[in-house]
A and B are shown apart, each in its own frame.
Chain A
Amino acid sequence: MPRKFTPKVVTANALLEGDVVYLAEDDSWIRDLKRAEVITDEAVAQIRLIDASSRQSEVVGVYLADVVETEHGPEPTHFREDFRRTGPSNHFHGKQAAEV
């Protein structure tokens, strides 16, 4: 039996800055996971992934990452994605510093 599709966001790294970006519903690349478009349909996810992957002058390494939907917006299900949306744990750099 095929595995049940779980909610996803489209994510990548920005070409110029190299930092983590997410795809928003309006097709813009945003820095904050909370505002990312959560995709719940597998066919839609594939189309969004293909379209996003073609935007080579903006981003690198596009893929779908698992999330769970919460009242605070999407949250990562895996610790790797949690680190990507936060920054390193040894220096207060990356996304966590940008939020202040």
Chain B
Amino acid sequence: MYRYSDFDAAFVAERNRQFRQQVERRIDGSLTEDEFKPLRLMNGLYLQLHAYMLRVAVPYGTLSAAQMRQLAYIAERWDKGYGHFTTRQNIQYNWPELRDVPDILDALAEVQMHAIQTSGNTIRNVTADHFAGAAADEIADPRPVAELIRQWSTDHPEFQSMPRKFKVAVTGSPHDRAVIAAHDIGLRIVERDGARGYEVLVGGGLGRTPMIGKVITDFLPQADLLPYLEAIVSVWNLIGRRDNKYKARIKITVHEHGIDEIRRLVDARFAELRPAFSGVDQQMLAAIEAQFATPPLRDASTDGYDLAYAKDPVFRSWADTNLTAHRDPDHAIVQISLKAHGATPGDASAEQMRVMADLAERHGHGELRVSHEQNIVLPHVHKSDLPLIHATLQQHKLATANIGLISDIIACPGMDYCALATARSIPIAQEIATRFDELKLEHEIGDLKIKISGCINACGHHHVGHIGILGLDRAGVENYQITLGGDHTETAALGARTGPGFPAEGIVGAVETIVNTYLEIRESREETFIETFRRTGMAPFKAALYPEKEAARDAA
């Protein structure tokens, strides 16, 4: 894992010192809210419905055991004993008081963490594949380059006041687990003729106007990355629309100018910038890469795992659902579900955080990941340790065997917390998960991603959910629109609306109708929901959801 240099530590300490003074000046009346708001946002502090919210960056979703323990300590010392892991691989605290925030930031700095650029019109925390460094299909670990981008973008003087926020995601695998097509810039590490480079997507994004990112170059040599990124961001920084916040993101710029024109402008800017990058960035990348070396993997028997797998059906179900192939066949990638049926997606109590930190330390080389799907990952676990890990998780409500299933729902905080929300998300997720647990159907249903947002900003990724749910305010009542057919992977697609929305009391029933339709019309158990949808299209689902309307149309 990356460790702060003296420069990093001094930079964070100085920012924390500044922010402490800014808070003091706000409290003593020397700063107005208009003056203070951009300063607090630069440090991740929002004011939400019921309280302040502090968004802490988890760079590319990677945490050490010590960092996870400190997050638990912060949750207990200054919050209400829990934290919320988000779809941008960060953690949010929902209840800090203004006076305490400087102390929280100092506590974060003790474990080399901060909340800088988790808000505002800046380049935000770079996200990455949560299986980075462990996945069997990986070409290269995306985290070193994500760290390089973080260092380049943090406090970058040209990019502190852009038309809007800017998000970058990186994957090192052909299978996209980082939703790169839904980011302002998506990077995929590729190899060509033995040389490493990047496929670069630009102009993806969800929100009010969802767009799938377009390929601006299919092979960018590794050494050209930073000047090329700088060229993209600086082109957009100049021509991106500042007249209308809703048209300011680069997806609109790409849409309005066309990808060919954007490519031309970026290439021209790149030609100017390239000579300024002397190669220091590549020396830095090499030094960062050394810090992400694979931990020494243990060579031991997996008999204990095989025996538990054969004898214990509960363990077997968990292993089948929550484990992913590691590139070392004696190891596994463990996903710890933060989606116990009826619980809030992404919430973890301080106690649970400590349990996960302890497990990582004892059995996982001290490493954890936060997935954009709001679960926690132990990336390098020897299979012989899995029965013990499972038993420990069971004692702390962390052993739910539902990764990738219908109850593994992404949900934004929605109107239970968020000042922007138009409806609640969390109770809908809780009800759907509880309902399908009662039906004992979710393993039968198989791979199905439900993603819920409580407003059109789409933090819950609803556009790319197999079933997407969007909560809206319709004449003072919560109403939920459904989209079907979204895809968050390398075959990224935006879902299509089924038709009119459903009231809160009707949304679980509507999801059940969709799922029952799928179970009736799938060709076999092997045909997943998304495959069935692609084969049949919307028609059978629409007919089931709106029987009266469809019948009337048939009669006409």
Nearest 10 interchain pairs by C-beta = A88-B416, A18-B52, A18-B51, A57-B29, A94-B50, A90-B344, A90-B426, A16-B98, A89-B427, A60-B33
Please name the residue on chain A nearest to B411 by beta carbon: A90
| Residue from B80, B98, B416, B478 within 8 A of A18 (CB atoms) | B98
> Which residues in window 77-98 of B have CB below 8 A to A?
80, 82, 94-98
Which residues on A are within 8 Å of B, measured CB to CB?
13, 15-20, 56-57, 60-61, 77-80, 83-84, 87-91, 93-95
| Residue from B26, B424, B427, B476 within 8 A of A77 (CB atoms) | B476
| Residue from B80, B95, B478 within 8 A of A79 (CB atoms) | B478
Q: Is the CB of B97 within 8 A of A13?
A: no
Q: Is the CB of B32 within 8 A of A56?
A: yes
- A84 CA to B50 CA, complexed, in Å: 6
Q: Which residues of A contact B26 (CB under 8 A)?
A: 15
| Residue from B27, B96, B416 within 8 A of A90 (CB atoms) | B416
Q: Which residues of B contact A56 (CB under 8 A)?
A: 29, 32-33
Q: Is the CB of A87 within 8 A of B98?
A: no
B34 to chain A, nearest CB (A): 9
A34 to chain B, nearest CB (A): 18
Q: Is the CB of A19 within 8 A of B29?
A: no
How many A-B contacts if CB must be within 8 Å? 75
Please name the residue on chain A nearest to B425 by beta carbon: A90
Q: Is the CB of A89 within 8 A of B416?
A: yes
Q: Is the CB of A84 within 8 A of B49?
A: yes
- A78 CA to B477 CA, complexed, in Å: 8
Q: Which residues of A contact B344 (CB under 8 A)?
A: 90-91
Given A17-B97, A88-B50, A89-B426, output 5 extra A-B contacts at Cβ < 8 Å: A15-B26, A18-B51, A78-B476, A83-B415, A83-B424
- A84 CA to B416 CA, complexed, in Å: 9
Q: Is the CB of B417 within 8 A of A88?
A: yes
Which residues on B are within 8 Å of A, measured CB to CB?
26-27, 29, 32-33, 47-52, 80, 82, 94-99, 344, 347, 415-417, 424, 426-427, 430, 473, 476-478
Q: Is the CB of A60 within 8 A of B99?
A: no
Given the interface pairs A56-B32, A78-B476, A79-B477, the reply to whether A19 lies near B426 with Cβ below 8 Å is: no
B328 to chain A, nearest CB (A): 39
Q: Is the CB of A91 within 8 A of B80?
A: yes
- A93 CA to B416 CA, complexed, in Å: 11
- A56 CA to B34 CA, complexed, in Å: 10
- A78 CA to B49 CA, complexed, in Å: 14
Q: Is the CB of A90 within 8 A of B476?
A: no
Q: Which residues of A contact B478 (CB under 8 A)?
A: 79
Q: Is the CB of A93 within 8 A of B95?
A: yes
- A19 CA to B50 CA, complexed, in Å: 5
Q: Is the CB of A90 within 8 A of B427?
A: yes
A81 to chain B, nearest CB (A): 10
Q: Which residues of A contact B415 (CB under 8 A)?
A: 79-80, 83
Please name the residue on chain A nearest to B52 by beta carbon: A18
- A38 CA to B477 CA, complexed, in Å: 24
Q: Is the CB of B430 within 8 A of A90?
A: yes
- A80 CA to B26 CA, complexed, in Å: 28
Q: Which residues of B contact A20 (CB under 8 A)?
A: 49-50
A67 to chain B, nearest CB (A): 13
Q: Which residues of B contact A95 (CB under 8 A)?
A: 50
Please name the residue on chain A nearest to B30 by beta carbon: A57
Q: Is the CB of B50 within 8 A of A15?
A: no
| Residue from A16, A78, A87, A91 within 8 A of B97 (CB atoms) | A16
